[in-house]
């Protein structure tokens, strides 16, 4: 068979035996609270479209109009001839919204995180990351060549013990909202510790941006932290804004340093200008329609009250991510399949995405959901939980 086919085959067989084999879903509709798969409609509770903007008519029209003016592809990297007016306008709007001097677009969150970390860090530096950080943050830290340490989840004392023994440049990296647990980092305490220890703080707010805070800036707004406390703020555009791509916001020095040195920015084709235009419209809606965040918060509270009454083992989370802890990977898959039979789409999250023994259903709520849809979710969860 050959070494590579044999290795791949063995790995796939093992995943199937352990209930870890993954399947792609092919949607036949726009993203929304109800989607269509293989001709059947499902209530969708596994999307990150937190504000319901992914198929908003005004966002769609902004993309269409920009595509007519700028075409579909950007044609080149930002530093060649791929940087168009919509890119520039979006960067300026994101900088103003987050209260930072500048912002820089990346083609994806993974590219942003790995690009930021491999640019900032050098051999001999120290990088400290929460144990539950997103894979892109972990990969960026490992690939940077810096001395890499992980501290206990949301444990400021664990971080402090590691910071105090390190000499030289120090960077602390955390998720604002953790993507699989839905809980929030203690950013105010971490920022204070970083200041005391002369360390920089980077926050990946992919799941907080647009959702948390009075203005929707995210977890840093809730914690009351400015750009001095959080010099590196990263967030994605494909979740609350409903489009695609990512950005980093910070000082003039940080952003220009990334423009000149970040390989993930320099050596890749820029996002389509139409996507940037659509993102700009989403950002405008985020700011003008605060009811979306208020309504979503009400849905989250309604769901958690119902789950508590049904004795469903939800993990502690005040975000749109509501994990239902199952434990066993096969049981989580079985529960997901039972719910799909009932017309509800919820993904089973299993190792290696989460630690062994903590498989779960990752339930996500959106401002596009109705209260009746959330009540149906609770009813079917209760029924299927007993069956599995």
pLDDT in tens, the chain (388 residues): 789 999 999 999 998 888 888 889 999 999 999 999 999 999 999 999 999 999 999 999 999 999 999 999 999 999 999 999 999 999 999 999 999 999 999 999 999 999 999 999 999 999 999 999 999 999 999 999 999 999 999 999 999 999 999 999 999 999 999 999 999 999 999 999 999 999 999 999 999 999 999 999 999 999 999 999 999 999 999 999 999 999 999 999 999 999 999 999 999 999 999 999 999 999 999 999 999 999 999 999 999 999 999 999 999 999 999 999 999 999 999 999 999 999 999 999 999 889 999 999 999 999 999 999 999 999 999 999 988 8
Range(s) of the domain holding residue 329: 22-50+290-387
C-alpha distance from residue 249 to each of 16, 39, 92, 123, 204 (Å): 42, 42, 10, 24, 11
CATH number for 261: 3.40.640.10
Residue 67 lies in a domain: no
- 321 dihedral zone (left: phi>0; alpha: psi -120 to 50; beta): beta
Nearest-angstrom CA–CA distance, 366 and 240: 9
- List the catalytic residue out of 83, 239, 317, 369: 239
Give catalytic status of residue 334 as yes or no.
no
Same domain? 33 vs 83: no
Of the CA atoms within 13 Å of residue 306, those in its CB half-sphere come to 20
Which listed residue (47, 107, 108, 179) is catalytic?
Answer: 179
Report the relative pairing of strands 40-44 and 344-345 from DSSP bridges.
Answer: parallel
CA neighbor of 289 nearest in space, from 120, 51, 90, 79:
51
DSSP class per residue in 257-322: HHHHH-HHHHTSBPPPHHHHHHHHHHHHHHHH-THHHHHHHHHHHHHHHHHHHTT--B-S--SSEE
Together in a domain, 94 and 117:
yes
Task: Identify the CA nearest to 218 among candidates 320, 371, 133.
Answer: 320
Q: Let me know whether 229 and 272 are in one domain.
A: yes
Q: Is 239 a catalytic residue?
A: yes
Indicate the pairing of strand 246-250 with strand 102-106.
antiparallel
Catalytic option among 74, 207, 359, 369: 207
Which one of 287, 302, 322 terminates a domain?
287
Does 234 lie in the same domain as 253?
yes
Q: pTM for the whole thing? A: 0.95
Task: List the Cα angle 140/123/100 in 5-degree steps.
Answer: 55
User: For this structure, is 207 an active site residue?
Assistant: yes
CA atoms of 210 and 346, how far apart (whole Å): 23
Q: Are 308 and 282 in a shared domain? A: no
If one counts every other C-beta atom within 10 angstroms of the C-beta of residue 261, the result is 13
CA distances from 261 to 145, 173, 264 (A): 16, 20, 9
Question: How many domains does the chain divide into?
Answer: 2
């Amino acid at each position: 068979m050959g070494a590579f086919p044999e290795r791949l085959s063995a790995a796939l067989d093992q995943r199937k035996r352990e209930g870890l084999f993954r399947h792609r879903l092919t949607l036949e509709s726009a993203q929304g609270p109800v989607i269509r798969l293989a001709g059947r409609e499902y209530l969708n509770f596994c999307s990150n479209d937190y504000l319901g903007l992914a198929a908003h008519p005004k966002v769609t029209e902004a993309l269409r109009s920009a595509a007519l003016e700028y075409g579909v592809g950007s044609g080149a990297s930002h530093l060649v001839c791929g940087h168009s007016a919509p890119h520039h306008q979006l960067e300026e709007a994101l900088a103003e919204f987050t209260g930072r001097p500048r912002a820089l677009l990346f083609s994806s969150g993974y590219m942003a995180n790995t690009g930021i970390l491999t640019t900032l860090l050098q051999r001999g530096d120290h990088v400290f990351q929460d144990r539950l950080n997103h894979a892109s943050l972990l990969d960026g830290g490992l690939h940077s060549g810096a001395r890499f340490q992980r501290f206990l989840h949301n444990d400021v004392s664990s971080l402090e013990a590691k910071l105090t023994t390190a000499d030289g440049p120090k960077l602390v990296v955390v998720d604002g909202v953790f993507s699989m647990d839905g809980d929030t980092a203690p950013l105010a305490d971490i920022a204070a510790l970083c200041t005391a220890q002369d360390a920089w703080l980077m926050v990946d707010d992919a799941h907080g941006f647009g959702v948390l805070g009075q203005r929707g800036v995210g977890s840093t707004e809730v914690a009351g932290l400015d750009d001095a406390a959080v010099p590196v703020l990263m967030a994605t555009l494909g979740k609350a804004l409903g489009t695609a791509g990512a950005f980093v916001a910070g000082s003039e020095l940080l952003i220009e340093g990334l423009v000149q040195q970040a390989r993930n920015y320099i050596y890749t084709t820029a996002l389509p200008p139409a996507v940037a235009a659509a993102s700009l419209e989403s950002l405008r809606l985020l700011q003008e329609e605060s009811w979306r965040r208020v309504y979503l918060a009400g849905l989250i509270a309604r769901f958690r009250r119902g789950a508590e009454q049904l004795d469903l083992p939800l993990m502690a989370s005040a975000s749109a991510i509501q994990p239902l802890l199952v434990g066993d990977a096969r049981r989580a898959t079985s529960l997901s399949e039972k719910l799909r039979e009932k017309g509800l789409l919820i993904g089973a999250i299993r190792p290696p995405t989460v630690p062994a023994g903590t498989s779960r259903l990752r339930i996500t709520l959106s401002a596009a959901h109705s209260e009746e849809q959330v009540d149906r979710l609770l009813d079917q969860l209760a029924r299927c939980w007993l069956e599995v």
